Amino acid sequence: MKIETRAVHAGDRKRIPGQPTPVTTPIVTASSFLHESTATLDRVMGHEEEGWSYSRYGNPTNGALEDLICDLEGGASALACASGMLAVQTAFLVALTDRPKRILAASALYGATTGMLTKILEPLGVEVEFIDICDLAAVERRIVDWKPGCVILETLSNPLLRVPAIDRIAAITHASGAALIVDNTFATPLLVRPLELGANLVVHSLTKFLAGHGDVLGGIVVADAAHAETLRNLSRISGPVLGPFESYLTMRGVKTFVLRMERQCANARRVAEWLSANPAVSRVHFPEDPAHPDADVIARLLPQGMYGAIVTFELRDAGREEVFRFMDAFRLVVCGTSLGDVHSLLLYPAIASHRDLSPKQRERQGITDGLVRLCCGIEAVEDIIADLAQAIEACRAGLTRGEAASVSLSPDTATSCASLVVKPAAASQAAHHK
């Protein structure tokens, strides 16, 4: 079956003999489960028989979500976690269980992942090195010479959208005995399935595209067959599990993620094209760009016409003050600290996703003070572009938030903004919060 069908059906409608089957998986809040005999409980606790005993070990609602994502990613086992970062941490623990405590990490990563490596794992004695993960020759040399226990990268890097050659890096890591961890949050299994390319562990922030409605905090680890047992054993001890209500909401969101992602990808292409022609924008980062530094990899790994929902761009000659003014001027686009929701979300990496990095670290990654990251929602793309246009106009005019809300727009911008439905007072409510 195709992924559109599996997203709707996988995980649900598990039949129990003698009982009616609910059409969607119910929310099971019980912490413990009873069995008809102590002997049955003994077999379940000993993993000799399938069943539920204690929700830290497994829960029917969580299990359905895990089956669903495991099916979409082509994995052997999955673990739903309380946050995306807990999923990343769990993946590190699984990968390094019986390997050297050395991690080779992409230099371009989500800021919190970098923080976990440098502020938590390094102080615990794990050696960490960062590398340009798109420099395949350098990656191979370092893996061969240093012999790390695992390598971590992102399918589409946050926020500059670099695309590493996952399949070739996987072959190198396997030859050295290392494990490959891939954060597939930006791409989702609709665009890329890293396990099929040779990755060992895939992580997602469920909060983003998979749940997709801004109402869930969660993460998930999907493991290949070689790491499935280690993942489940570790989870039973450490208990990083997601709550059943969040699992239910996520599963409901996943059923429509393909439809949402297709619309969001299409919107992003239109927005990137419009931004590229705007003189107020000095640079646009988007995988469809023929001049993208990873164009050959993109052509090989991403489906044609599907480049993700993220467009990252730099406002010309802008610093912190100008970016704040730009963000405060939005009437429809939400300025927040996430992505993947049904509504368009704009984030300023310097104060949010990469806030904890030093200015020099951000500079080395190419994250300038004028750089912003837009995740396109499912709105009419004309309305997204209209809101961008009026926000750029307000920023260039040097207007304050209040002035921008009441300004009379130029005729062209006013016409294109006619369909905006969000009142000015509702704009940018979280612009300056991490």
Residues marked as catalytic = 56, 110, 183, 208
Of 172, 93, 116, the closest CA to residue 140 belongs to 172
Place of tokens 């069943």: 51
- Strands 371-375 and 127-131, by their bridges, are unpaired
CA distance 7 to 1: 10
* Both structure tokens of 229: 């047992």
DSSP H or E run through 157: none
Spatial distance between the Cα atoms of 162 and 242, rounded to a whole number of angstroms: 30
- Helix (H) / strand (E) element for 336: namely none
Whether 271 contacts 374, CB under 8 Å: yes
Q: Containing H/E element for 219?
A: strand 219-223
Q: CB neighbours (10 Å) of residue 263? A: 18
- The residue assigned the tokens 């004695």 is 125
Which token pair is 402? 């209040």
